[in-house]
């Protein structure tokens, strides 16, 4: 499975990268610090899974995901438990608390 990480906090992004590297079936193709940066790759490449932070500057991860036409699987990553219901209403595969 090809995946990307969209996470504005560099330490959290590095932790996710280490975990993804340990899963043989996952291939990390790119990391981004904002959803806007990731938009181009989602239009040009086949991505199977997104690790997506919710609270980010400019555009929340949930709003970004809602507006995607082709929706890959998503694992929301956030420090806020309050978004869990929103995440699962968007058919998230999982919800990771930082």
Structure tokens at 51: 């690790």
Tell the burial category of 6 from Cβ atoms under 10 Å away from its Cβ (0-12, 13-18, 19+): buried
- The Cα 58–Cα 20 span in angstroms is 26
User: How far is residue 6 from each of residues 13, 24, measured CA to CA in Å?
Assistant: 8, 20
**pLDDT value, residue 89:** 85
pLDDT, one tens digit per residue, over 15-60 is: 999 999 999 999 999 999 999 999 888 888 889 999 999 999 889 9
Rounded to two decimals, the pTM is: 0.92
Average pLDDT across the chain, whole number? 91
Residue 66 contacts residue 42 (beta carbons within 8 Å): no
SS3 74: strand
């Amino acid at each position: 499975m090809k995946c990307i990480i969209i996470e504005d906090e560099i330490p959290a992004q590095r932790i996710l990268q280490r975990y993804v590297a340990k899963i043989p079936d996952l291939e990390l193709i790119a990391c981004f610090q904002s959803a806007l940066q990731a938009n181009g790759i989602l239009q040009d490449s086949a991505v199977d899974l997104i690790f997506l932070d919710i609270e980010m500057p400019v555009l929340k991860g949930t709003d970004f995901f809602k507006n995607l036409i082709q929706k890959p699987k998503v694992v929301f990553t956030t420090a806020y438990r309050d978004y869990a219901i929103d995440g699962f209403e968007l058919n998230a595969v999982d919800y990771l608390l930082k």
